[in-house]
A = this chain, B = another copy of it.
Amino acid sequence: MAGKKVLIVYAHQEPRSLNGSLKDVAVAELSQQGCAVTVSDLYAMNFEPRATGRDITGTLSNPGFFNYSVETHEAYKKRSLSSDIVEEQKKLQEADLVIFQFPLYWFSVPAVLKGWMDRVLCQGFAFDFPGSYDDGLLKGKLAILSLTTAGTASMYSKTGVNGDFRYFLWPLQRYQQIPSSENCSTISCKIISLERVWMASLRCLGTSQSSTQGLSLLLPCF
């Protein structure tokens, strides 16, 4: 991974949380490997999650009838998206690897991270027609979901109370075109060794030991 650029999109309020610690481990380990690591610390940035007309700095294409996807597509082409979106798009465009680090909130990402996805991944930048699905405009980047849950691994099994964790991962993996099920390595382990397991996973990124294209790290606590 030496020489590669990494973006960590991090969504936890407490720097000393497990999520914060896993983010720190990734920064240290990947920097050690010679990567240039950037962190988008969404809560610290007070990142705006709402998709509104404030995301377009210029004149709207149709001020009388607001269509968010149409307006942000136009604004992307005219370079008139708000500066916070442009900044995140620049980081993402430059990154070879993107790690999403977050605690599971109601079977999905916290709203602040959902807002990053809703606003940053606009038409023209992340996809277009043509230029979607397998030919998406961010094709070739590696993405990792590293998440913690409030439940044990067995609670997220097929017969567990929350159902198979792959069900809730599906919508998150789908738009990133992360292969699910067969190719998805998921690590669930005791808290004492989490940082070590995470570091070990990061160490074999890009090597033959790792099916990193679909790696997800599922951790049983916040």
Contact = CB atoms under 8 A, between A and B. Distances in A.
Interface of A: 13-14, 16-17, 43, 46-47, 49-53, 65-69, 105-112, 114-115, 117-119, 121, 133, 150, 161-163, 167-168, 170-172, 174-175, 222
Nearest to A64: B16
Contacts of A222: 67, 69
Contacts of A49: 49-50, 111-112, 114-115
A68 B14 CA distance: 9
A51 B174 contact: no
Contact of A66 (B13, B106, B161, B168): B13
Contacts of A170: 107, 163, 167-168, 170
28 contacts: A13-B51, A13-B52, A13-B53, A13-B66, A13-B68, A14-B67, A17-B65, A17-B67, A43-B50, A46-B50, A49-B114, A49-B115, A50-B112, A51-B112, A67-B222, A69-B150, A105-B114, A105-B118, A106-B118, A107-B171, A108-B108, A111-B112, A111-B115, A112-B115, A162-B174, A163-B174, A167-B167, A168-B171
A82 to B, nearest CB: 15
A112 B68 CA distance: 14
A121 B106 contact: yes
Contact of A110 (B51, B105, B110): B51
Contacts of A107: 170-172, 174-175
Given A107-B172, A108-B114, A167-B171, 5 more contacts: A49-B114, A50-B111, A105-B114, A105-B117, A170-B170
Contacts of A14: 65-67
Contacts of A43: 50, 52
A43 B53 CA distance: 10
A105 B51 contact: yes
Contacts of A114: 49, 105-106, 108-111, 114
Nearest to A16: B65
Contacts of A17: 65, 67
